[in-house]
């Protein structure tokens, strides 16, 4: 037993030495977490109507707003780069004191922000969901009040623990924390629904938030972290974090306007449209989290180290390699989600009497329009972290604000002027995301220097072409085999047809990529076969060594 415990601790406390290894760990855990998230949605769709679930999802808006403004503005933008620099250039004790002060000050700020929101939840909810009736508003208010403090309070602590662990190059435990969060919600749905109805997943959210923190505590203690009751807002590191997160928090505040308007507009189409929008968003976030977020998170410590050493060539190589690898991995999944949207929605969310054919079609169409910009949404995570590593949070904030403005204007125009269905919100989001990505790329090039055509543009063209051909390969078996060979009203037949089509599309994608000599094809072998670290074709062996895949 002692040996098992020791081996488990060794695995949990292991530090990843290169970006691709770290990304592989994150991808595996993220894939598990996202699958659990989709299982959670399927359980919800089988037990509650889209109208009821619309109220449940709308209730997240206010707690999520508080959480994102307090934590997301500080974590990737400022906390990880500054905490990492303290570990590299100062003592671990000084870094721990910095982390304690930041966490404590964040919790105090959260407490003073949450109290007035608890009192005015009813008034705020009416503004957020003008399309809801009185009964739905009352339910939304109750759900929101349950989630504000019990959910957000542990999530704030948990996400800063995640930042500390990632600074130590430990990516396994932070990646498992969202798994624990989803398991808590699933437990609430399975065991509490008979007693509490739609309150069951709300209680599950609170349980999941507690598990999110608890799963990280043993590992972080093993690194020597001991929390202190320090509120040193004069600490140089705290002041640096405050300065860096200021523009990012402002940018997030602007993005909250965008997200809030999406909620307001979708409620005007009915509570079920809120569910359709959220289901489509959750499904398209799977490849984004799996590749875009994972590789970006794994790259941030190495980018921060290169920036701290002022090693610009190293920084450019990391950005370029990560950029093309994200693009290469996301493109085929984008084609799959667009072409196979209806069978995927049916397989993931089911076809119960509560989640009927109309909801399936609406979710599939919204998913397709979201998926047009999967590549852009994924690459924004990398480019933004590149700016954060350079201690430049103003540029991504300004660009993000412009993208939010575009999204908001288009959303209002589509829903209120042209009276389009909920899928138009996915279209407006895609247009804004593509604009966001390309503008960030332009500013990044201006900041770190230009890339040659062969370095940046030509590989992008080959990857996009491979994805386009793969889309046709996906479409043909669906059209040929549907109804003529398979009765897709049966789940097993639908799974077989979807599997055949996906296999054909992926095989064609890999073949075309190999034929066009796309160098990122080596990533497939690295992730799934774990090639030796010193072989050519690997993204990054150490923060000091980048292999240029294009030279192969």
- Consecutive 10-residue averages of pLDDT for the chain (552 residues): 52 58 73 90 94 96 86 68 84 89 89 88 96 96 92 88 87 88 96 96 96 94 89 87 78 82 96 97 92 86 87 92 94 96 93 86 97 97 92 88 94 96 97 97 92 86 96 90 68 87 95 91 62 41 34 35
**Tokens (6 digits) for 462:** 């080959």
Decide if 551 is inside a domain. Answer: no
Instruction: Let me know: does 341 contact 368? Beta carbons within 8 Å.
Output: yes
Q: What are the residue ranges of helices labelled H in 372-456? A: 374-389, 394-412, 423-448
Decide if 550 is inside a domain. Answer: no
Decide if 544 is inside a domain. Answer: no
Decide if 102 is inside a domain. Answer: yes
Instruction: Let me know: does 356 contact 50? Beta carbons within 8 Å.
Output: no
Alpha carbon distance 87, 64 (integer Å) = 31
Note the pTM of the prediction, 2 decimals: 0.85
Give whole-number Cα distances, 62 to 117, 127, 228, 257, 279, in Å.
8, 11, 30, 12, 19
Please give the backbone phi and psi of residue 486, each rounded to the nearest 5 degrees, phi first.
Answer: -110, 135
- Tell me the residue ranges of DSSP E strands in 109-234: none
Instruction: Let me know: does 36 contact 124? Beta carbons within 8 Å.
Output: no
Alpha carbon distance 525, 243 (integer Å) = 42
3-state secondary structure of 542: strand
Of the candidates 189, 270, 178, the residue with the CA atom closest to the CA atom of residue 215: 178
3-state secondary structure of 438: helix
Decide if 548 is inside a domain. Answer: no
What integer pLDDT is reported at residue 532 of this predicted model?
47
What integer pLDDT is reported at residue 270 of this predicted model?
95
3-state secondary structure of 319: helix
Give the Cβ contact number of residue 24 at 10 Å.
21
Alpha carbon distance 75, 245 (integer Å) = 8
Q: What are the residue ranges of helices labelled H in 59-133? A: 61-67, 80-89, 92-119, 121-128
- The domain of 454 spans 2-225+232-537
Contacts 24+ apart (CB under 8 A), 5-9: 9/218, 9/222
What integer pLDDT is reported at residue 525 of this predicted model?
62
Decide if 496 is inside a domain. Answer: yes
What total of structural domains would you count in the chain? 1
Decide if 384 is inside a domain. Answer: yes
Decide if 393 is inside a domain. Answer: yes
């Amino acid at each position: 037993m002692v040996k098992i415990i020791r081996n488990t601790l060794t695995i949990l406390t292991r530090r990843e030495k290169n970006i691709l290894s770290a990304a592989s760990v994150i991808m595996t855990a993220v894939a598990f977490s996202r699958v659990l998230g989709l299982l959670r949605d399927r359980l919800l769709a089988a037990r509650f109507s889209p109208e009821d679930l619309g109220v449940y999802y709308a209730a997240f808006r206010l707690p999520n707003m508080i959480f994102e403004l307090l934590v997301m503005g500080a974590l990737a933008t400022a906390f990880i780069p500054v905490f990492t620099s303290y570990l590299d250039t100062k003592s671990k004790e000084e870094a721990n004191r910095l982390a304690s002060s930041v966490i404590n000050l964040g919790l105090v700020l959260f407490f003073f922000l949450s109290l007035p929101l608890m009192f005015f939840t009813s008034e705020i909810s009416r503004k957020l969901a003008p399309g809801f009736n009185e009964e739905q508003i009352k339910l939304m208010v109750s759900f929101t009040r349950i989630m504000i403090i019990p959910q957000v309070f542990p999530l704030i602590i948990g996400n800063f623990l995640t930042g500390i662990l990632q600074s130590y190059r430990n990516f396994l435990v932070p990646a498992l924390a969202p798994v624990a969060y989803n398991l808590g919600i699933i437990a609430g749905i399975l065991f509490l629904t008979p007693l509490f109805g739609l309150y069951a997943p709300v209680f599950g959210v609170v349980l999941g938030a507690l598990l999110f923190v608890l799963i990280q505590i043993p590992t972080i203690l093993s690194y020597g972290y001991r929390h202190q009751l320090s509120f040193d807002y004069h600490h140089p590191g705290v002041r640096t974090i405050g300065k860096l997160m200021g523009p990012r928090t402002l940018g997030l505040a602007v993005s909250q306007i965008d997200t809030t308007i999406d909620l307001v507009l979708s409620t005007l189409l009915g509570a079920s449209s809120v569910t359709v929008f959220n289901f489509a968003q959750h499904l398209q976030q799977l490849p984004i989290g799996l590749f875009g977020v994972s590789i970006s998170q794994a790259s941030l410590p190495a980018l921060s180290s290169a920036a701290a050493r002022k090693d610009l060539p190293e920084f450019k190589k990391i950005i370029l390699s990560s950029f093309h690898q994200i693009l290469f991995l996301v493109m085929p999944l984008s084609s799959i989600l667009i072409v196979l949207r209806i069978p995927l929605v049916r397989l993931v969310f089911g076809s119960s009497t509560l989640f009927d054919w109309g909801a399936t079609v609406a979710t599939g169409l919204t998913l397709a329009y979201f998926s047009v910009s999967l590549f852009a949404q994924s690459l924004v995570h990398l480019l933004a972290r590149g700016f954060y590593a350079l201690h430049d949070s103003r540029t991504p904030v300004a660009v993000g604000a412009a993208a939010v403005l575009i999204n908001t204007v288009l959303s209002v125009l589509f829903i209120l002027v042209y009276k389009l269905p909920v899928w138009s919100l996915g279209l407006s989001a895609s247009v804004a995301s593509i604009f966001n990505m390309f503008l960030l790329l332009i500013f990044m090039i201006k900041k770190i220097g230009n890339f040659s055509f062969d370095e940046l543009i030509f590989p992008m063209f080959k990857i996009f072409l491979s994805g386009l051909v793969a889309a046709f390969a996906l479409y043909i078996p669906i059209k040929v085999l549907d109804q003529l060979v398979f009765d897709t009203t049966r789940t097993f037949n639908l799974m077989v047809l979807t599997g055949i089509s996906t296999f054909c599309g992926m095989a064609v994608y890999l073949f075309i990529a190999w034929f066009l000599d796309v160098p990122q094809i080596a990533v497939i072998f690295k992730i799934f076969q774990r090639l030796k670290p010193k072989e050519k074709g690997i993204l990054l062996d150490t923060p000091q060594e980048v292999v240029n895949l294009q030279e192969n």
